[in-house]
C-alpha cells in the first residue's frame, strides 16, 4: 500500500503535489460598527491590535487545532478594501499565485496569540489551516450579502440545495484513530518509535516552513532540476516547531534523506505511510435538506479562487438605475 502511494505521488507534478496538500477574550463580541456578528460563536471576542479590529477564536476550531499549544487563540479581522484589491489580482490558473495571495490576506488579517501573551504571525499557522482561515476572514468581511455557495441536490427527494462556503457547513478530514495513541499532549505532535530503533517526532508544517519548501521547488525548477517529491512530502513533517529553513538547509536535509544510513527503507516506508494518513483541512461541504437528509458535496470554488473576495456581477449589484 505504501509502495503504491509512493508511486502515485511520484507521478504528480510539483504543482499538483502542493495542491494535494493544500486542500490541507478581552472586549465585547461586536463587529466594527457595533453590529452583532451573526456567525461568531459566543466565545469569540474582539480586541484592537494596531488600531485594527480582531476577533478571537479558540484554536480548537481549526482543522489542525490539536497541534497548537493549549489555550492558543487565533485573532482574525475582516479584510479591508486594500487587501481585497490586492487579492483581486490573483491568477486562478497559477497555483503558486493563489497560495501567495492567500498568504498575503492572512498576513494582514490573522494573528496567533499564545497563553504567555506573545503575538505570532500567519507564518506560525499550520499550512493545512490556511483555507479554513481564508474563509473565516471572508465570513467576517461579508457579514451580510455576497453569499458564496455551491449547488447540489438531495439524493433522497432531489431538492436543489445551495450550500454556503462557511464554517458551519465545513466537514473536516477525519484523523485516523490509530494515530491517537502516539499523540503527545505536552508537545502537540506525534511521537513514533520504530522496530529498527529509530524515533521520529511528526507534526504538520506551518505556513512559514512550507513556504520555504515552495520557494525551494521554484528555484529547482528554474534551474531545470527535478525535485525529489517523496522528500518534499515527508521532511516538512519532521521539522516540528520550525517556521523557516534556508535553501542550503533544505539541500542539507536532502543529502541526509538520500543517505540509506540515515533514512533506511523501513523508516521511509513507515514515514511515507504515516504522513499519507495526515490529511487535515476541509474535506467537503454539508447541509441538512428539509426532508431531514444530511447532504454532502465536494469542496469547490465557484468561479475560481478569485471569487472568494470578489463580488460576482458587481456592475449589476451596485449600479444606480
Greater confidence (224 vs 7) lies with 224
CA distances to 38, 71, 125, 205, 238 from 191, rounded to whole Å, are: 40, 22, 21, 15, 10
What's the CA gap between 264 and 19, in Å, rounded?
A: 28
What's the CA gap between 84 and 306, in Å, rounded?
A: 10
Q: Is 207 helix (H, G, I), strand (E, B) or coil?
A: helix
Structure confidence at residue 19 as a pLDDT band (50, 70, 90): very low
The x, y and z cell numbers of residue 140, run together, are 467576517
**What pLDDT does 316 receive?**
81
**What pLDDT does 30 receive?**
30
**What pLDDT does 53 receive?**
86
**What pLDDT does 12 receive?**
44
Half-sphere exposure of 15 (CA within 13 A, CB side): 7
Torsion of CA 159, 162, 165, 168, to 10 degrees: -50
Residue 247 has pLDDT above 60, yes or no: yes
Residue 26 has pLDDT above 90, yes or no: no
| pLDDT tens, residue by residue, 38-52 | 333 433 444 444 446
| Mean pLDDT rounded to a whole number for the chain | 84
Q: Which of 13-17, 53-57, 271-275 has the lowest mean pLDDT?
A: 13-17
Residue 102 has pLDDT above 80, yes or no: yes
| pLDDT tens, residue by residue, 189-222 | 999 999 999 999 999 999 999 999 999 999 999 9
Contact, 132 vs 275, CB < 8 A? no
Structure confidence at residue 242 as a pLDDT band (50, 70, 90): very high
Contact, 84 vs 142, CB < 8 A? no
How many Å separate Cα 11 from the centre of its chain?
24
Residue 20 has pLDDT above 70, yes or no: no
| pLDDT tens, residue by residue, 249-306 | 999 999 999 999 999 999 999 999 999 999 999 999 999 999 999 999 999 888 888 8
Q: Which of 58-62, 124-128, 232-236, 300-304 has the lowest mean pLDDT?
A: 300-304
pTM to 2 decimal places: 0.81
Q: Which of 5-9, 98-102, 134-138, 253-257 has the lowest mean pLDDT?
A: 5-9
Contact, 37 vs 77, CB < 8 A? no
Element (H, E) at 98: helix 95-109
Domain ranges of the chain: 25-62+69-145, 177-276
Q: Is 53 helix (H, G, I), strand (E, B) or coil?
A: strand
The residue among 152, 110, 105 whose CA lies nearest residue 302 is 152
List % helix, strand, coil for the chain (3-state, nearest 5): 40, 20, 40
Amino acid at each position: 500500500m505504501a509502495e503504491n502511494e509512493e508511486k502515485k505521488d511520484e507521478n504528480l507534478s510539483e504543482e499538483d503535489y502542493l495542491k494535494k496538500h493544500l486542500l490541507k477574550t478581552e472586549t465585547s463580541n461586536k463587529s466594527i460598527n457595533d453590529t452583532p456578528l451573526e456567525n461568531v460563536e459566543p466565545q469569540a471576542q474582539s480586541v484592537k491590535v494596531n488600531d485594527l479590529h480582531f476577533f478571537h477564536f479558540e484554536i480548537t476550531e481549526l482543522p489542525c487545532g490539536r497541534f497548537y499549544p493549549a489555550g492558543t487563540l487565533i485573532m482574525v479581522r475582516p479584510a479591508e478594501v486594500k487587501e481585497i484589491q490586492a487579492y483581486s489580482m490573483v491568477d486562478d490558473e497559477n497555483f503558486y499565485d493563489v497560495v501567495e495571495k492567500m498568504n498575503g490576506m492572512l498576513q494582514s488579517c490573522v494573528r496567533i496569540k499564545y497563553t504567555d501573551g506573545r503575538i505570532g504571525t500567519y507564518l506560525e499557522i499550520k499550512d493545512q489551516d490556511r483555507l479554513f482561515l481564508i474563509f473565516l476572514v471572508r465570513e467576517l468581511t461579508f457579514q451580510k450579502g455576497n453569499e458564496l455557495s455551491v449547488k447540489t441536490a438531495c439524493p433522497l427527494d432531489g431538492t436543489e440545495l445551495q450550500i454556503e462556503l462557511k464554517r458551519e457547513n465545513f466537514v473536516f478530514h477525519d484523523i485516523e484513530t490509530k494515530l491517537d495513541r502516539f499523540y503527545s499532549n505536552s508537545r502537540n505532535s506525534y511521537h513514533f518509535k520504530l522496530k529498527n530503533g529509530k524515533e521520529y517526532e511528526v507534526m504538520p508544517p506551518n505556513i512559514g516552513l512550507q513556504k520555504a519548501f515552495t520557494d525551494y521547488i521554484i528555484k529547482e525548477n528554474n534551474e531545470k532540476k527535478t525535485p525529489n517529491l517523496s522528500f518534499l512530502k515527508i521532511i516538512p513533517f519532521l521539522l516540528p516547531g520550525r517556521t523557516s529553513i534556508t535553501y542550503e538547509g533544505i539541500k542539507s536535509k536532502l543529502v541526509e534523506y538520500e543517505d540509506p544510513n540515515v533514512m533506511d527503507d523501513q523508516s521511509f516506508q513507515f514515514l511515507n505511510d504515516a504522513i499519507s494518513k495526515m490529511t487535515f483541512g476541509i474535506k467537503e461541504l454539508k447541509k441538512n435538506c428539509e426532508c431531514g437528509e444530511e447532504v454532502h458535496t465536494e469542496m469547490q470554488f465557484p468561479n475560481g479562487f478569485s471569487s472568494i473576495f470578489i463580488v460576482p456581477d458587481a456592475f449589476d449589484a451596485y449600479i444606480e438605475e
